[in-house]
Structure 1
């Protein structure tokens, strides 16, 4: 067999490339057998396949993500229990605010009831429920609405502490809890408007 007919790669009279281990791709990644079966639940498709041939992985029974992303049109709001869930969350949050004298002082009204209602309406709308908040108050403009109040790192961390405790009372699935907590964490960071 001439050199032109010989397949590339290790073989008689062919040394591996310097710095490359046998059975490995350049860069050190293990060489894989494209004919080997893919792990369960993973996506597999031929390179260059038309997009119309790509399919979502077959969901596994009991897969929490499958339940959260079910083919139904259920919003996050509906998935977590709807109105009652947000009433409880916000009530539990403001009960903790009322007990925290230093943090409570950041709220200008003597009665926390209107603030509780506004937060509930906002969260319901944000997560796919009724649009009552926008109908009554217009665009949320959260950062602008919080500008008159001193929101520093301490205020953010205190708000998050009380919201975490309130969220824990709901006993949501880990996936739903993680999704809503990620939002609260990012939103609280965005509200900071004072150094410290």
Structure 2
């Protein structure tokens, strides 16, 4: 079940001091403000029977532990909406990571290319298990062409998790207030031979504004 907590103080606190693969031992060793990034890159270790979630920055390419990345959703992402769309946009200012690549902006998605999805019956299930957001803020992650809501920090929108069936996918991310957001994700699946498996929880930091 999603737990959402409001935090009115913008802070760059590290949620986990686990080393990134490229910058061992450092906290928020990488700030990513633009370009193609698989924010949720799902992995599987068959020896340990463990699912994992990494950040794959295609500009390197470089792989990071999510705890070591600060996603900079800067003013270039600012979109003003004349009216609200329930469970999508607020009226006024919103900060949007678009589903289509745009120069100078983050292009954040997810992928299952680091594992064989067929080994999990063709799908995983990703859950947004916790969210710390600025006062009044929410995050919506949805597929614009079909208007399918994949994740939302407001439990009333009934989208704390989604089935992952895509090898590579980009959705629209909407942040409704400036400030720091900490989003915690977990992924589960049923391996065809090894049975049910669940990843650790991984917390992501998005600095918006």
TM-score by length of 2: 0.22
Higher strand fraction (1 or 2) = 2
**Greater relative contact order structure (CA < 8 Å, 6+ sep):** 2
Higher helix fraction (1 or 2) = 1
Tell which structure's C-alpha radius of gyration is larger.
1
TM-score by length of 1: 0.23
